[in-house]
Structure 1
Amino acid sequence: MSTTAQTPLLGRRPTAMADKPIGRSLVDAGLLTEEQLATALGLQRRWNSRLGDVLMAHRWMSAFDFYSVLAGQFGLAFVNLLQERPDPALFDYQRLNDYSQRLVLPWRREGGRTVLAVADPSEDTFRWARAVYGEDVLFVGTSKFDIVWSVQRHADDRLTDDALNLLSGHNPEMSARKVITVPQVLWLYGLISALVAALAIWPLPTLIAFNALVSFAFIATFVLKLLLVWYGARRHIDIKVTEQDVAALRDEDLPVYTVLVPMYKEPDVLPILANALRRLDYPISKLDVKLVLEAGDTETIEAAKALGLEAFFEIIRVPPSQPKTKPKACNYALRFARGTLLTIYDAEDKPEPDQLKRVVAAFRKSEDNVACIQARLNYYNANENWLTRMFALEYTLWFDFYLPALEHLRIPIPLGGTSNHFRLDVLRKIHAWDPFNVTEDADLGVRLIQNGYRVSVVNSTTFEEANVSIPNWIRQRSRWLKGYMQTWLVHMRKPLHLYRSTGFRGFWGFQFFIGGGFFTALVAPILWALCIVVLATGTRVADPVFPPSLLYMSLFNLIVGNGFFIYITLIAGFKRGYEQLVPYALTVPFYWVLQSISAYKGLWQLIHNPFYWEKTTHGISKHMAAERQAALDG
């Protein structure tokens, strides 16, 4: 006797939805109390969400129980796809988006007909299925998590290939997959050859000209940041969204919001993150949170399972592949995003509760070509030691002064690694992040501009854990500076296109904000060493290279430029209300030494290991134990 004859056929045609509402069916099944149902119905009306999304977001029952009852509402049998696995022969890679967005998957063939497993049964889903698979298609019910797991299981190779190759396949000139192109090599070879020839023929004029060029680059970087601080200090570009704007938002009009949380070997900070996301002032039925975890990181995966997280949390397991980078993991998870807007938070992030609403309000007040809005970043352990104090002052200067001014001046904004909020349709259109760039968000901010979009900044802050360890800080900063080098090389492959797409201010702002950031960090130690040697020994050997005008320019850089940076670091502390950190602004030159060490390490890695993602260890602050316990107790 055949297996088909022995096994009861489960596929059915859906019936009209039961006369009894699903909420009443759940109460009758003993899965929900009358009080819980009344609360859920009130939230459903207030949030304009489906009742199931409200119920599952509150952990009032298991997903298995809810989806079983939901299937029964349409007369469908319920199937656990983890036990009754789909037939891989029916899986169509061309319909990956349909599977992940509609929560539907071909399951089996029964009696010569295709049976689809659906987690979101509705007339729209049934009509789509009949249009694709024919009028005789049958259905079984299953859970959302079974669909997500099954799609990952069947499509790991395709999803991984897309995560790695969509950008480089469609727009290779915009990908850092190739560190330096042949034309760039030829230009570099030509410049070095010309310099060597000039040194051989006109040694002193060549050294003077090179020295003048370096001094000009320092002054240009200084002048740009002076302008950014000047504009960034203005109140009218500092406040974008008011309390009244947030209060005017209606929960029923808010869009579904996807939150990606890429993590790797960080089980201890997971409760802190989950607690921070629960505190968001946003309808939880409209949150779509993806914990993006490496498949081999069993410790963090098991920690996530043990927390018994609400149904708006999903675990996305990223299969192993190289390079193992955050942007590759985010690209992989992007396929499962179901929101209209999307943001990224790091594992230790604590966004202000109204941040998502502020971003929604900011998008509504913005022009149609604004595709990304960056929130500010700062640190909740700023007072822990000297390094955290300097890190907090630097971030205050960066996010409270520089970025608002860059937006105002229409200069490309290098996004931060977290709390950047995207229109999901645009993000997919430009093929998302570059998995080969280790500061993927800085690159993405520039790429958005080159594609005709704008990046804005919103007055909301996400608080992170500042690095408390200098070796850990250098690992993180060397990766950032290596990524800035990658970003500069990528976007200077077509300098004319960059100029046309960003304009005069945008082009030169890119040169001296992105390029100047790593250039000054690399050159500064050489100038410091030369200055120290001259002062210590009284030698006049460098005098011919420093004619009077150039000497004055160099002294200006040394005294006025450095003094200015100390001053604006001090002002940044006052603006953020960090008065206790202000005296530490005087020690910022020592912080620059660390920056230069990181720059040379990043340059070495760019040459020898360009795609290596040097992991920053989180959860090492002395505050983390108390934060974790508070999260678990809450």
Structure 2
Amino acid sequence: MTDADTSLLSAELRTRYVQEGWVPLGRDGDAVVIGASRDLGRAARSEISAAIGAPLVVRPLDQRAIVDQVVQHFRDDFADQAANGLYHADPGLSARRVLSRAQQVGLAIFLVVLVASLILWTLPTVVIGIAVASIVFLSSTLFKFSVALHGSRYDLVQHVDADAIAALRDEDLPIYTVLVPVFREARIVGRLVENLGRLDYPAHKLEVIILVEEEDDETRDAIAVSSPPENFIVVTVPKGAPQTKPRACNVGLEVARGEFLVIYDAEDAPEPDQLKKTIVAFSHADASTVVMQASLNYFNARENVLTRMFALEYSYWFDYMLAGLDVRDLPIPLGGTSNHFRTAALRELGGWDPYNVTEDADLGIRASALGYRVGVVDSTTMEEATSRMGIFIGQRSRWIKGYMQTALVHARRPGRLVGQIGLRRFFSFALLIAGTPLTFLGVIPFTALLVASFAIPWLDVSEAFPPLVLWLCLLNFLIGNGLMVYLNMMGPYKRGAFWLVGWALLNPVYWLLHSAASYKALWQLITKPHYWQKTEHGMSTFELHGADVDASVPAADPVEVADRQ
């Protein structure tokens, strides 16, 4: 008897079945036979008996069988909760609606006024528009520079020494869940199983859940061929809309048994001791720290110019920007991978918004609104940087569209958000989350105006635009680009990748690519807001092993060390 008795299954208990590792198999007289994936103590048996209203007969059953049968039987319930759980709990926090009614009315009024102004006062309207865009561009750039420069003075990483890890006893470690959402990743699942198989954590306390979309038989078959260990559980995500990574992760969150939970992408290769380091880091942090972010680096950083720019960008973000946001107690948009959560807090937050295509940034803002904080642990996950232009534009357009969605969602009730996080943190949110896509949207027009003023001899822009606006545009070009080049040059220092420094001079060109992606993002926000532009992995000619990129993130020589306790 290994199949669940569907007549005994209760929808109210569906998450308890998988999270506690048991399921009713049938009756034996007055008793109910249950299959359990773990030893049940007296207290657990008593609680289960009370839940099903009958005495128990316990038999061993594999956790994979329990999860598969429960998810399939309650597939509609899991699908609805994964897609609409956050929306049902608080519609205002979900990106299911692109614009609220008030935002629709406000946008309509703005467009009418703008069109009328362009018709009646064409040149003054254009001048004012350029001036406002310039101020937004410069303000956002100066904010990022200020935060990153401030962060360069601090070492906020939770450093964990080898002795603390060695002191951990397997029997004292909590259950840890690893979620890996995959879609059409058949070419790299063998590498995935190999990479996660290196994690230094007791197998009976490590639960690796690979989330595969229902129609993705190719990936499911490839996983089976790779012969994953017994603690790897393949969960078929019930078909539904929107078909996004956060929706799949919400299914994983419902079935997760771990006290702690981490997200990895299909191509990720975390350092083997990352989970143990995170356990130690959480033990040193207070209860308000509910997420530990590991650093990201690229094993193919030397592959081409694009991957070098990726590596520069991530170095600056993880080693300086995150530190600056944290030390100033500002909202932190989470990264999409290698986020280690306290599972209970993640469920309290409502999981991920499946309608937001940059669900990590949104979750960081929601966490901040509840007074939660993000820590950084000194461990690195190696990833594959996008090495092809078309894939890069698609990936960045999704990221930028998600920032647009997040800005619109949290701008619906600005008074409430200010009340939750304060005015200073609200302006930080506005400059970082809303300011980033607005900045990228301005890059191409500003560059075109600059090039036209020099390349077209008969075009005298000084006659059309007031000197103050022209000076503001020049400041944007010189100071804005100069500051971002400087920040990207700073990025490699903590990682010792000095060979990357000179490539930071190409940052203005890199921003032009972001600007192109931002216009694609804006178009998709209008036409298909919840469309998930998938990033193709396994395209690199580089291999993880033998890559000459230093995976470590050594501590800087900080002027000050921030005490987060």
TM-score (norm 2): 0.91
Aligned match for 1:304, one of 218, 223, 240? 223
The answer to whether the Cα contact below 8 Å between 2:453 and 2:459 also exists between their aligned partners in 1 is: yes
Match in the other structure for 1:326: 245
SS across alignment from 1:250: coil
Name structure 2 gaps, 5 residues minimum.
548-565
Per the TM alignment, residue 138 of structure 1 is displaced from its structure 2 partner at its CA by: 4.0
Displacement after TM superposition at 1:328 (Å): 0.5
CA distance in 1, matches of 2:544, 2:63: 34
1:435 aligns with 2:349: no
Residue in structure 2 matched with residue 76 of structure 1 by the alignment: none
**Cα–Cα, structure 1 residues 140 and 285, in superposed 2: closer, same or farther, change >3 Å?**
closer
Partner-residue secondary structure (3-state), 1:179: coil
Distance in 2, matches of 1:497 and 1:114, equals 50
1:255 equivalenced with 2:185 (yes/no): no
Q: Larger relative CO (CA 8 A, sep 6+): 1 or 2?
A: 2
1:10 aligned partner: none
The Cα of 1:607 is off from its aligned counterpart by 0.7
What does 1:421-570 align with in structure 2 at a 5 Å threshold? Answer: 421-539=340-458, 542-543=461-462, 546-570=465-489
**Deviations along 1:387-439, whole A, 9 cap, x unmatched?**
11111111111111111211111221111110011110011112100011111
Q: Alignment partner for residue 333 of structure 2, among 400, 407, 414?
A: 414
- Write the distance in 2 (CA, Å) between the matches of 1:462 and 1:371: 19
Q: Is the 8 A contact 2:160 2:280 kept in 1?
A: no
Partners of 1:453 and 1:467 lie apart in 2 by: 32
Which is greater in Rg? 1
Answer yes or no: is 1:150 the counterpart of 2:69.
yes
Runs of 4+ residues deviating >6 angstroms: 625-628
Name the CA distance, whole Å, in 1 between partners of 2:262 and 2:463: 55
Alpha-carbon separation, structure 2, partners of 1:548 and 1:245: 63
Structure 1: distance between partners of 2:166 and 2:142: 41
Contact conserved, 2:174 with 2:258, CA < 8 A, in 1?
yes
The AA in structure 2 aligned to 1:80 is T
1:9-408 correspondence runs (5 A):
79-81=1-3, 86-111=4-29, 114-122=32-40, 123-198=42-117, 205-237=124-156, 239-243=157-161, 246-247=164-165, 249-251=167-169, 252-408=171-327
Output the CA distance in 1 between the equivalents of 2:483 and 2:119: 38
Residue by residue over 1:518-577, the C-alpha shift from the partner in whole angstroms, topping out at 9 and shown as x without a partner, is 111111111111121221223455435532333222211111221221122122133322
Report the CA distance shift for 1:240/1:120 in structure 2 as closer, same or farther (over 3 A): closer
Quick one: distance in 2 between partners of 1:132 and 1:365?
Answer: 37
Separation (CA, whole Å) in 2 of partners of 1:240 and 1:140: 43
> What amino acid maps onto 1:143 in structure 2?
D
Tell me if structure 2 keeps the 8 A contact 1:211–1:545. Answer: no
In the aligned structure 2, how far is the partner of 1:293 from the partner of 1:151?
A: 16
- What letter is aligned with 2:373? R
SS in 1 for 2:34: strand
3-state SS of 1:262 partner? strand
Check conservation: 1:102, 1:125, Cα contact below 8 A: no
Offset of residue 175 of structure 1: 0.3
Q: What is the aligned-residue identity percentage?
A: 41
Do 1:284 and 1:312's aligned partners in 2 also have CA atoms closer than 8 Å? yes
Q: Please give the secondary structure, in 1, of the residue aligned with 2:74.
A: helix
Cα-to-partner distance string for 1:294-319 (whole Å, 9 max, x where unaligned) = 12222221222222222221111112
1:247 and 1:120 mapped to 2: Cα distance? Answer: 26
Deviations 1:606-629 (A, max 9, x none): 11111111111101111249899x
TM-score under structure 1 length normalisation: 0.82
The answer to whether the Cα contact below 8 Å between 2:30 and 2:54 also exists between their aligned partners in 1 is no
Matched to 2:282, the amino acid is F
Matched with 1:54 is none
Q: Which residue of 2 aligns with 1:69?
A: none
Equivalent residue, structure 2, for 1:18? none
Does the 8 A contact of 1:293 with 1:315 survive in 2?
yes
Which sits farther off after the overlay, 386-395 or 282-291?
282-291
- The 1:540–1:233 alpha-carbon spacing in structure 2 relative to 1, beyond 3 Å, is same
Change (3 A) 1:390 1:136: closer
* Cα pair 2:441 2:519 within 8 Å, conserved: yes
Give the CA deviation at 1:379.
0.4
Distance in 2 (alpha carbons) for counterparts of 1:315 and 1:248? 31
Superposed displacement of residue 456, structure 1: 2.5
> Cα gap change, 1:615/1:201 in structure 2, threshold over 3 Å: closer, same or farther?
closer
- Give the secondary-structure state (helix, strand or coil) at the position aligned to 1:343: strand
Q: Does the CA-based 8 Å contact 2:259-2:342 persist in structure 1?
A: yes
Q: Would you say the 8 A contact 1:204–1:544 is kept in 2? A: no
Residue 596 in structure 1 maps to residue 525 in structure 2: no
Contact kept in structure 2, 1:374 and 1:416, CA below 8 Å: yes
Q: For residues 234 and 249 of structure 2, what CA distance do their matches in structure 1 show?
A: 13
Q: Note the alpha carbon deviations across 1:445-489, whole angstroms, 9 max, x for none.
A: 111112232222223221100111111111111111111111111
Query: Quick one: structure 1 residues 152 and 534, their matched pair in 2 at CA, closer, same or farther if it must change by over 3 Å?
Result: same
Count of residues in correspondence between the two structures: 545
C-alpha contact (below 8 Å) 1:436/1:611 kept by paired residues: yes
Q: How does 1:574-585 map to 2 (within 5 A)?
A: 574-585=493-504
The separation in 2 between residues aligned to 1:417 and 1:135, in whole angstroms, is: 44
Task: Give the letter for the 1:407 counterpart.
Answer: D
